[in-house]
Structure formats: structure tokens, C-alpha cells
Amino acid sequence: MSPTTTRIGSGAGFAGDRIEPAVDLARRGRLDDLVLECLAERTIALGHRRRLADPATGYDPRLAQRLTALLPDLLANGVRLLTNMGAANPAAAGRVAREHLDRLGSAAPVAVVTGDDVLDLVDPAAAATEDGRPLGEHGELVSANAYLGADAILPALDAGAAVVVTGRVADPSLFLAPLAHRLGWDLDAPGPAAAGTLVGHLLECAGQLTGGYAADPGRLDVPRLAELGFPFADVGADGTARYGKLDGTGGRLDRHTVREQLLYEVTDPAGYRTPDVVLDLRGVTVESDGPDRVRVAGATGRTRPDELKVSVGHRAGHRVEAGISYVGPNAGARARLAADVVAERVRGLPVTPRIEVRGGPADARLRVAALHRDPGLLDVLAHEVESLYTNGPAGGGGVRTRVDEVIGVLSTFVPREAVAPRVTVLEAGRAAA
């Protein structure tokens, strides 16, 4: 890259994403930065549930696996890594990263970004954005994470970190921070913040930009989907970006896939709110620039909001899922009879389960599901499905029952000035710090 251009790659778009495409980018992508975006409202809620059971956990369970696969190539090629795999416990995740670097004999610093945990700032009487009801009416609040912006990450980059681990930051901010750091952008200026946020928004879901989410046989064919490559962007100091994927990888990157991702999860193209800018997409241009290359420019923006969005986890009760299968002649009718039996057996209970039959006449499965605050009541539902083994209809098998606690997710806002991000740098040998 030239001094006025930097290359940034997307190595993951969600917690369960593939690892091999990121390794390919690290190995031969000629990147400056690689971002692993692995956090969503659901995954951070699950992280908090794990941490409530074991305070040493709460970060992404695949963190060690990804670091083991990626760090040798990243270190060899001088590629900086940023990830929100810290989830509900970024400090612990930072120690894991430090341990991996120590084992590889690398003294490169690890930086941990914290401060997104704002549970003590959230008022249970505050209104949830989803329904306007007080947050506390939905159940005990167990977590609250503010969406930090790129400004929270910049001190980590200024400290020379080779690996940056965060908790809840806005997805595009993971990309905007390294772009601003390398290109010398002033994040108080809406123009550069908008340009970098657009890059982050297009890259944040990884394989969605290269056709993974667009594939629809016969309508939009994506070649070699099993070998889908992940995207990168060459970003200029003026904010113009040229997107591509590595030669020899599967997928497609063209105006269709870019425009589809452009509006992904955007409810207002004229005012997409992030912690860094209110992004306006109306003037964005998307132009083909060669095979699997697309040039995007024209983002504008307004001053960043005075409030930060907060993802709030609450105890929403327990959930039961139970099922039994029927196969062979008349299996569909037997499964429907089983559904009728369960419905009659649970009539009068203070819960209305979802009872459904899936499949066809020769292979069908009964599924029963419900949500309630009393796990004992849900055990009753699960037992009714299990009892079908010998209480009819004929030939039932493959019973599976499960009762789990549910951590629900709501949203609210807190004043920006009330949130205090912090960066902790872990030097070589400081994994236990």
C-alpha cells in the first residue's frame, strides 16, 4: 500500500464464522489490518450467561482456536489484529491473547479495551426502546453494554498494540479505528468518520459481501460457495475504497453483493446512527472496477450522537424444547395424533406451548416449545413428550428435551459523557496481570 492507502480485511462476520478464509487473508492478503467481528446482541448475552456461571469465562469460546490459526501468519506479515471476541469478559480474552503471543516468542503488545460494561449506569426504570416499558419490568437486569466507538480503540493503536481485544463496540468502529489511525483522520470530522464507517459496514459481515448471503440457486448463483473467500478493502485518504477478494477463492464480489450489504440492517439510509457519526448513504456510488473488484465512495455524515446505545441483558425466564420423531407408513398422522395428545395433557397449565409437526407423511417430528419463568413447569411439558415413548402413538423415537435459562436482550441509551472507556496494555510475560 502507498502512504495514502491502507488495506484492511474482514476475517469473521459472526461468532460461528469459518476460520480458513481469515487464515488465507492473513497469509497472502498483503493486509495492514485484519478485523474479526464476532459479537452480536445474542452472543454477548450468551457470554454474560457463561460468566454468571463461571467468572473466568464470558469471552468468545473460539478465541483460542482463531488465535492459534492466525497469529503465526499475522506476526510474520506484520498484520495488526482487532477483534471484539472479548465479549462479556475482554480482560480475560486479552490474557488469552497475551499467552498465545508469549508461546510464539513474540513481545508484541496486546491491548484490551474496556468500559463498555455500564450496568451501574442503567436505571431499571428507564424505558426499553423496543416497547417503551421500564427495563426492570422485563426481569432482573444482568448486563448492560454500551456500543463504544472508534475513539475508544485509538489509544490502543497509539500504544503500538499488535492485537486489540474489545468487548461491545459498534461493528463499523472496529474498522474505522485502524483506518483513522493509519490515514491520519480526525474522527471529530463527520466526513472521514462517515467514509470509514461505510467501509466497516460493508466489511463487518465478511462473507456476506462476497456472495454468501446473496446466494440463491437459479436466481443469483455464487460460484464455489464451499470455498467462499472473505473481502478486503484498499482505502484511500479521501475515503474512497476499492473492495476485493483474493484470487482463487470462491464467491462473487460485484455491484449486486455490495448494494445488498449496503442496506443490510439499515432502517434509515439518510441517518444510520453509530457512536462515531450519523451516516448518510444517499450519495454513495457503487461502481465495478474489474473482476471481483468494486469501487465505493460518496458517504457523508453528521456529528456523532450525544448518547450511546446500550444492549441490556435480563433474565427472561426459561425455555423448553422437546421433540419426538415418527417414521414409516402413516408417520405424519401419528405425529399429529401425538400433538393432539400433548395438547390435551397440558390443557389447563399456566403456559401455552407451541406445538407443531414438521415433515411429511413418512417422516415427521413433533416439536413442543415454551417460555416461562418457572423451569419446573417446563419440565412437566418435557415429560409429557418423553412419556409418548410407551403411551402412544406407535413407533415414536428420538426424544430430545432441553430446558435452559434465557437471557433476553433489550436496548436503551446512556449519555456519552457518562461512559469511560479504558485501554490496558499487556506487555510480554504479563498474561496474568
Per-residue pLDDT of the chain (433 residues; tens, 9 = 90+): 556 899 999 999 999 999 999 999 999 999 999 999 999 988 898 898 899 899 999 999 999 999 999 999 999 999 999 999 999 999 999 999 999 999 999 999 999 999 999 999 999 999 999 999 999 999 999 999 999 999 999 999 999 999 999 999 999 999 999 999 999 999 999 999 999 999 999 999 999 999 999 999 999 999 999 999 999 999 999 999 999 999 999 999 999 999 999 999 999 999 999 999 999 999 999 999 999 999 999 999 999 999 999 999 999 999 999 999 999 999 999 999 999 999 999 999 999 999 999 999 999 999 999 999 999 999 999 999 999 999 989 999 999 999 999 999 999 999 999 999 999 999 997 654 4
The reply to whether 241 falls in a domain is: yes
Euclidean distance between CA atoms 50 and 46, whole angstroms: 6
Residues 293 and 325 reside in one and the same domain: no
Q: Where does 307-401 have alpha helices with state H?
A: 331-346, 375-386, 388-391
Residues 84 and 155 reside in one and the same domain: yes
Residues 238 and 257 reside in one and the same domain: yes
Query: How many structural domains does the chain have?
Result: 2
Residues 306 and 355 reside in one and the same domain: no
Q: Which domain holds residue 52?
A: 5-311+412-426
Residues 300 and 394 reside in one and the same domain: no
Residues 354 and 244 reside in one and the same domain: no
Q: Determine phi and psi for 239, rounding to 5 degrees.
A: 90, -10
Which whole-number Å values give the CA distances from 430 to 108, 251, 427, in the listed order? Answer: 12, 41, 6
Hey, which residues does 322 pair with through a beta bridge?
368, 401
Residues 215 and 341 reside in one and the same domain: no
Q: What is the pTM of this model?
A: 0.93
